[in-house]
Amino acid sequence: MRANGIGILCGVVAFSLGLGSAVAQTAPPADASQAAPPAAGLQTGPATVAPHWSKNKYPESIPEGESYYVVVKDDTLWDIAQRFLGNPYLWPQIWDHNKYITDAHWIYPGDPIILPKVALVAAQAGEPGGPGAGEPGAEDLEGLPGEGPEGVGPGTVLYPVTEEASMQCAHYIASDREDESLKIVGSEQGSAKNAFGDRDILYLGKGSNAGVKTGDVYTIHHAAYSVKHPTSGRGLGTKIETLGWGRVILVQENTATLSIEQACNDIHLGDYLKPFEKVNVPLVLRRPHADRLTPPSGKAHGYVLDIADDASIAAAGHMVSIDLGSENGIAPGNVLVIYRVMYPSVPTARNVLGEAAILTVRERTATAKLIYSTDAVMPGDEVELR
């Protein structure tokens, strides 16, 4: 086990719909020929993206068979999710599918938005959430659509489920092998030190010949072990621990020097690096927690697969992996009820153990944080979208 260490731009238009807004901003292009014409609606690739002014490094082409939409003035990810996925609360899945958008609050006319293939939409969407942090007041939430007594409306309070550093350090399950070619090969301390942390200086096994540049920021990872489903035993992928991140301060042809800016866990020689991807902390609706009297929702159902730091049990504050992902309509900010049926052969009523909020989502798995617990949570316990 590794030891555990540890302004949103808010223009008037940007939060016109409250949380989840990602307003398409306009700026004059270099000349009129650079402006992209607005698209009428959903289109299908292959296609070439018209050159246009944008702060985002948008893709120049759309792959064959991909459904996409071209942003026009005043668009938001919230609106796009409502229009094409049937539920505005699924905006995080659109953002996750378009990683060139560095900040979900800012999309630009002409930017292509590739739509994810979501199996379950409105009926399976969980709690409302939005990009950024902070706890907005009722005036920020006016105008958001509600769904019955639990819908969002004036006086509703949403809160960040975790702090940004913890979310950036979260583990995940990779279904396919990742590119591990950029590795840590040494340190300034040489053999005198074999575990590294904040401000340590490390040497990388690639340099300018592989495109590494001074100022590049990378996250540092370790492939821990294979994860199997607790009920079927089938392999689901490899648990990847996020150990921290660092910045390249010197580059040579075949090597580079990196300074660790944040260590989440001990870092070792042989750990690999990936380009840094900023995460936005999802918000969840503050409401009474589920208990033994809360009826099942009938929504997406799955299991707890694994617990952070190789722990065997978890409680409030711990992070876990579950076997639900974007294929099931899961998005950051969704809340899951965790429960156990003590005598499934009878069967008896479910024993509610707590709740977890989704932090990050992959195709078939997700990472969640326990926000409430009444008893120990273990791999194999069941989860249901609230």
pLDDT at 15: 32
Backbone φ/ψ region at 285: left (φ over 0), alpha (ψ -120 to 50), beta: beta
pLDDT digits (tens, 9 = 90+) for 238-295: 999 999 999 999 999 999 999 999 999 999 999 999 999 888 788 787 889 999 999 9
Fold of 170-275: Thrombin, subunit H (2.40.10)
347's CB contacts (< 8 A; 6+ apart) are: 341
Using alpha carbons, select from 128, 99, 101 the residue that is nearest to residue 24.
Answer: 101
* The two three-digit tokens of residue 25, written as one number: 């901003």
pLDDT digits (tens, 9 = 90+) for 84-136: 877 776 777 788 788 898 877 789 999 999 987 653 333 333 333 333 323 23
Contact 85, 94 (CB under 8 A): yes
Categorize the per-residue pLDDT at 79 as very low, low, confident or very high, splitting at 50, 70 and 90. Answer: confident
Task: Check residues 273 and 66 and name the one with the higher pLDDT.
Answer: 273
Tokens 């019955």 found at? 148
- How is the chain split into domains, by residue range? 23-162, 170-275, 289-385
Q: Does domain 289-385 have CATH number 2.60.40?
A: no
Residue 150 has pLDDT above 90, yes or no: no
Using alpha carbons, select from 156, 70, 83, 76 the residue that is nearest to residue 114.
Answer: 70
pLDDT digits (tens, 9 = 90+) for 190-206: 988 999 999 999 999 99
pLDDT digits (tens, 9 = 90+) for 44-54: 899 999 999 99
- Judged by average pLDDT, the poorest of 82-96, 170-184, 297-311, 357-371 is 82-96
Contact 33, 50 (CB under 8 A): no
